[in-house]
């Protein structure tokens, strides 16, 4: 019983800490599911592009999560002008962005370990 109370307190404390952060906490597993929308151009895993000879697609794997979220917000807000990315980002929620960023940023760990 006592252990359970401590665990509950810890969970509550964690919820408070995460709730207070400015960005939604990204879930890499959920983000992976969402990369079906991105894989055609950005490729998974890592950062191989599907059409390197057609146009330059920036690598996402290994980018800082905060940078990815910021970039997606920029497309959504119209601060970044690429038409395709604007159309894609327009449909992403804050949670989608955080999840995708968590997945792509964690990708560096895998590629760096090789």
Residue 89 CA to its chain's centroid (Å): 12
Task: Please report which helix (H) or strand (E) contains residue 86, including its range.
Answer: helix 83-90
Q: How many residues bind ligand HEC (CB under 6 A)?
A: 18
Site string for ligand HEC, 12-31 (x = CB under 6 A): --------------------
User: Does the CA dihedral 28-110-57-81 come out positive or negative?
Assistant: positive
* CA 27/CA 22 separation, integer angstroms: 15
Stretch that binds ligand HEC, among 1-9, 10-18, 67-75, 105-113 (CB under 6 A): 67-75
* Contact positions vs ligand HEC (CB under 6 A): 37-38, 40-42, 55, 57-58, 60, 68, 71-72, 80, 82, 84-85, 88, 100
């Amino acid at each position: 019983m006592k252990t359970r109370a401590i665990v509950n307190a810890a969970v509550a404390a964690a919820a408070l800490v995460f709730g207070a952060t400015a960005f939604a906490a990204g879930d890499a597993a959920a983000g992976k599911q969402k990369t079906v929308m991105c894989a055609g151009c950005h490729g998974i895993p890592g950062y191989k592009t599907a059409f390197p000879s057609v146009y330059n697609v920036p690598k996402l794997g290994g980018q800082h999560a905060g940078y990815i979220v910021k970039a997606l917000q920029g497309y959504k807000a119209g601060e970044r002008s690429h038409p395709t990315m604007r159309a894609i980002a327009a449909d992403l929620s804050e949670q989608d962005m955080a999840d995708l960023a968590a997945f792509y940023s964690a990708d560096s760990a895998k590629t760096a370990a090789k």
